[in-house]
Amino acid sequence: MADDYSVIFRGDIVLGKNLVEVKQKLAQLFKVDDARIERMFTGKPVPLKANIALTQAKKYQSVLTQAGIVTEIVDASSVSTKKVPPKTSPKPSASVDGHSIKTPENKTTASADFSLAPVGSDLVEGKPDEESKPVLVDHLSLAEQQGNIIKDDERLAPLPATVDTENLDWDLTEVGEDLLKPSEHKEVEAIDLNIDNISLSDAGGELLTNDEKKVVKDADIDTSHIKLSPGNTITG
């Protein structure tokens, strides 16, 4: 049929949208309170519009996308409404002191081949018996507390460093002699400095000429209002 399309919402919002703002826009769009909007975000499929044409469903979906939610258009005529009841298995029960106790139903079907083995039994059936091999510990002993595990005769002596000094051109020079050979000296060119305008003044002499000195005017300070009080305290 032409009017068998539904717009389904499953709780997803458009990527990049803010959830709080999306809920506010939906409340304004549907003109409902916040409680009804919250019930739409349970994760279950919620039909927002049913039994409409495909063109109307696409227009409705476009408006909802602008509001910030992701919807799905479903053709109701192609979906079978016949429900097949699930197969149920009898709930297992246990008996303690003659009283029957119902155990919680498991979602998976329990196998009758499973059973509980006694405590300490081997869970692997048909396991070949392995002969235990004895471990020789006659050559092992315990060292004294804080003792050294390695004996003195078991230590590896460090190899002595051998230095061939016969072929070394080493010698000791006298104090004050030059350690560099004449061929090892680096020639440094002398710098030509003009010091004709430089002279030494006498000890205690003025280093600045009269025109180089900065003139500092004497400060005129009025001290007529200052006097000494008993105890050599200055008061104004």
What is the fold of 5-78? Ribosomal Protein L30; Chain: A, (3.30.1390)
pLDDT digits (tens, 9 = 90+) for 96-127: 454 454 544 544 444 456 667 677 666 776 66
**What global pTM score does this model have?**
0.34
Instruction: Look at residue 80 and tell me whether its pLDDT is greater than 60.
Output: no
Instruction: Look at residue 234 and tell me whether its pLDDT is greater than 90.
Output: no
β-bridge mates for residue 99, sequence order: 96
β-bridge mates for residue 93, sequence order: 102
- Determine the pLDDT at residue 111: 47
Residue 23: what are its φ and ψ, rounded to 5°?
-65, -35
- Determine the pLDDT at residue 160: 80
Per-domain boundaries in the chain: 5-78
